[in-house]
Amino acid sequence: MRNILKAIIFDLDGTLLDRDRSLNNFVEHQYDRYDALHHVKKEEFVQRFIELDKRGYVWKDRVYQSLINEFEAKLDWQDLLDDYIEGFQNHCVGFSGMVEMLDFLKEKNMKLGMITNGYERFQDNNIKALNISDYFEVILISEREGIRKPDPEIFLRAVNLLGVKPEDSIYVGDHPSNDIEASLNVGMRSIWKEDDFQNKPLNTTWTIRELHEIRVIVENSGDT
């Protein structure tokens, strides 16, 4: 018997938030505002930041310390970090079709949730900047929850709070292990949002490149 689709839970960075574009926008803007960085070419500074950042898996205290040492900038790395924490939200952009997709899912009476790794205040600010908080009944941020993906507990906590079973839910994410493998392991279905920098997961229920493709999956599921 086919499980009834009742809930869809999303990752944030790289899934709803176009982190690569948002980060590039922020770093360029930060460079422009700090004269002490201008002895370095903007393109060189931005490129090195992105390399050190390792797509968000290195926290920015280490990134800024490395940048200041390498470029011998007369700046306090903590000032740059504070600027990042407060200012990144002003440069957040969602992927194309995000709002239209979320509107469609609400019209279909889907329960919506979000699970994201990261610091509570920082991620809360980014979600608010995208103006999507009201779409979600449940938002779990790893620092606030005390656990992080791929721990199965954070996925089970989300479905329990939504009042659904794992098998009646889909998780959407870009990371092969933290998102896709982890959600499948607790009995959820999965949508891998393709990422050119990640290896394709060994298993996934569906694969998409654009968010609007989720609409087709829901419409063709025969569950709603």
221 vs 60, higher pLDDT: 60
Average of per-residue pLDDT across 157-167: 98
Per-residue pLDDT tens over the stretch 70-91? 999 999 999 999 999 999 999 9
For the chain, the average pLDDT equals 95
The percentage of residues in the chain with a pLDDT greater than 90, rounded to a whole number, is: 90
pLDDT band for position 1 (50/70/90)?
Answer: very low
Prediction pTM value? 0.94
Average of per-residue pLDDT across 175-200: 93
pLDDT band for position 196 (50/70/90)?
Answer: confident
Per-residue pLDDT tens over the stretch 19-44? 999 999 999 999 999 999 999 999 99
Handedness of CA 144, 189, 198, 95 (dihedral sign): negative
Residue 222 above 90 pLDDT?
A: no
Q: Which of 37-41, 138-142, 200-204 has the lowest mean pLDDT?
A: 200-204
Average of per-residue pLDDT across 89-101: 98
Q: In sequence order, what are the residues at sequence separation of 6 or more whose Cβ sits closer than 8 angstroms to the Cβ of residue 91?
A: 22, 23, 25, 26, 29
